[in-house]
Structure 1
Amino acid sequence: MSYTVNCSTLLTEFPLLERPARAQQAGFPAVEFWWPFSTAVPDDADIARFESAITDAGVQLTGLNFFAGDMPGGDRGLVSWPARSSEFRDNIDVVVAIGEKLGCRSFNALYGNRIAEEAPEAQDETAVENLSIAAAAVARIGGTVLLEPVSGAPDYPLLTADDALRVIGRVAAASAAENVKLLADFYHLAVNGDDVAAVIEEHAAEFGHIQIADNPGRGAPGTGELHLDAWIARSRELGYEGFIGLEYKQLTDTAFDWIPRAARTPLTREKEEQ
């Protein structure tokens, strides 16, 4: 199995820049991050320190979020936020440069909450424009823009796979972009009441990425009631070949007890063949 550790939700007892090395020490060769900076366009020195943390640890960066605003404060992305559209666009070149430097090709664009002073239609138009621009930019390095349904954010409008797929369809119609894909986070889909098994049957081969956590509690697999093993296996059977992102929340002492160390190390088929 090809796992990648989300270092924004796991290993959080350690400073952010220590987490790639901690993941490697735990037996994982790949990591992913939410946007690891407080601004859309960080200082060059901060970027260099982040890049060195990845390369010095000897891990592969498999996923990186675009800047999503103040996440602890409740923001969930800038893609559909007209007043901050330029901020999102300024962030795109930074994301692409990091991706090119570190060999990362998957970039998650959180859609953004509904804004009271903006019409939903205007927000959706802004989102299509921004996703089209982002898709064209990451295409230069062979990248994919990911779009995900999210739970636990009352004003976030993408709750189901169909919600995200409708936006992806609009982007494709507007710009002919073929590199905007669904991020199938099985935890978020399940919490929002989506039929995860049905989503897999219909769309697994088109998934841009899978992330997992168990429910209730958003803990490690096996701490809840979700059929994560079966869902992953079926996604593989239907053609999904990418990484499985470990985006759950659990203290490091027990975070990886559910998976034998020998099962943590294989990379994706593409990586193995290089």
Structure 2
Amino acid sequence: MTYTVNCSILLTELPLLERPAAVKAAGFDAVEFWWPFASSVPADPEVTAFENAIIDAGVQLTGLNFNAGDMPGGDRGLVSWPARSSEFKDNIDVVAGIGGRLGCTAFNALYGNRIEGEDPDRQDALAVENLAAAAEGVAGVGGTVLLEPVSGAPGYPLLLAGDALAVIRRVEAEAGVVNVKLLADFYHLSVNGDDVPAVIEKHARDFGHIQIADAPGRGAPGTGTLPLREWVARSRELGYGGYVSLEYKEPRETAFAWLTGR
């Protein structure tokens, strides 16, 4: 099984730039991150330090989020946020640059919450424009933009796989880009009440990425009730060939205990 470790949610006891080396020491060769900077266009030394931490650890960067705003404060993306649209577009070149230098080709663009006082239709139209711009921006490094349903954010409008797929189809129809794909986070889909086995049967071949955590609790596999191994195996059988991201909450000392014997 080809796993990648999300260093923004795991190993948080360590400083961010020490986590790639800890992932390598734990026996993995791949990492992914949410946006690791405070701004959409960080200073060059910040970017260089981030890239060097990954290179020096000897791991592959397999996924990187576009700037999603203040995640601890409740933000869930800039894609459909009118007041921050230019900031999102400025972020595209930075993301593509990191991807090109590190060989990363998967880039998660969180859709964004509904904004009070904004017309939802206007937000959705803006999202199509920004997703198309992002897709075109990362195409030069062979990149794919990922779009995911999210749980636990009351203002986030993409809850089910069908919600995200409808946006993806709209982007393709209106902008002609084909490198926007579904990020199938089995935890979020399950918590939101989606029929995960049906989603797998219909769309596994076209998944852009898979992330896993157990439910309830968003802990490591085996801490909840989700048949994650079965879902991943079936996705593989149906044609999914990418990484499976470990994106769950677990203390460092037991973070990978469930994988003993992998």
Whichever residue aligns with residue 144 of structure 2, its letter is T
Alignment partners' CA distance in 2, 1:250 and 1:218: 9
2:148 matched to which residue of 1? 148
- Count the aligned residue pairs: 262
Instruction: Kindly state the Cα deviation for residue 175 of structure 1 after the two structures are TM-superposed.
Output: 1.2
2:229 matched to which residue of 1? 229
1:11 matched to which residue of 2? 11
Whichever residue aligns with residue 62 of structure 2, its letter is T
Instruction: Kindly state the Cα deviation for residue 35 of structure 1 after the two structures are TM-superposed.
Output: 0.1
Alignment partners' CA distance in 1, 2:234 and 2:72: 34
Instruction: Kindly state the Cα deviation for residue 230 of structure 1 after the two structures are TM-superposed.
Output: 0.5
1:272 matched to which residue of 2? none
2:24 is aligned with 1:24 = yes
Partner of 1:181, secondary structure, is strand
2:196 is aligned with 1:188 = no
Q: Which has the higher contact order (CA 8 A, sep 6+)?
A: 1
1:170 matched to which residue of 2? 170
1:269 matched to which residue of 2? none
Alignment partners' CA distance in 1, 2:3 and 2:254: 17
2:158 matched to which residue of 1? 158
1:119 matched to which residue of 2? 119
1:193-232 → structure 2 map (5 Å cutoff): 193-232=193-232
The CA deviation string for residues 92-149 of structure 1, in whole angstroms up to 9 with x for no partner, is 0000000000000000000000001111000000000000000011111100000000
1:33-72 → structure 2 map (5 Å cutoff): 33-72=33-72
Whichever residue aligns with residue 223 of structure 2, its letter is T
2:233 is aligned with 1:239 = no
Partner of 1:21, secondary structure, is helix
Instruction: Kindly state the Cα deviation for residue 68 of structure 1 after the two structures are TM-superposed.
Output: 0.5
Partner of 2:63, secondary structure, is strand
Identity of aligned residues (%): 71
Whichever residue aligns with residue 7 of structure 1, its letter is C
Instruction: Kindly state the Cα deviation for residue 184 of structure 1 after the two structures are TM-superposed.
Output: 0.1
1:100 matched to which residue of 2? 100
Whichever residue aligns with residue 73 of structure 1, its letter is G
Partner of 1:258, secondary structure, is helix
The CA deviation string for residues 191-235 of structure 1, in whole angstroms up to 9 with x for no partner, is 000000000000000000000000011000000000101000000
Instruction: Kindly state the Cα deviation for residue 243 of structure 1 after the two structures are TM-superposed.
Output: 0.2
- TM-score, normalising length: structure 2: 0.99
Alignment partners' CA distance in 2, 1:202 and 1:253: 37
- TM-score, normalising length: structure 1: 0.95
Alignment partners' CA distance in 1, 2:47 and 2:141: 19
Unmatched 5+ stretches in structure 2? none
Whichever residue aligns with residue 190 of structure 2, its letter is A
Instruction: Kindly state the Cα deviation for residue 176 of structure 1 after the two structures are TM-superposed.
Output: 1.2
Alignment partners' CA distance in 1, 2:14 and 2:35: 17
Whichever residue aligns with residue 226 of structure 1, its letter is L
Say what the alpha-carbon RMSD is for the aligned residues: 0.5
Alignment partners' CA distance in 1, 2:89 and 2:117: 21
Alignment partners' CA distance in 1, 2:46 and 2:117: 34
Alignment partners' CA distance in 2, 1:229 and 1:25: 24
Whichever residue aligns with residue 139 of structure 2, its letter is A
Instruction: Kindly state the Cα deviation for residue 75 of structure 1 after the two structures are TM-superposed.
Output: 0.3
1:134 matched to which residue of 2? 134
Runs of at least 4 residues of structure 1 off by over 2 A? none
Instruction: Kindly state the Cα deviation for residue 260 of structure 1 after the two structures are TM-superposed.
Output: 2.4
Partner of 2:71, secondary structure, is coil
Whichever residue aligns with residue 205 of structure 1, its letter is R
Instruction: Kindly state the Cα deviation for residue 14 of structure 1 after the two structures are TM-superposed.
Output: 0.1
Alignment partners' CA distance in 2, 1:117 and 1:98: 35
Whichever residue aligns with residue 98 of structure 1, its letter is I
2:81 matched to which residue of 1? 81
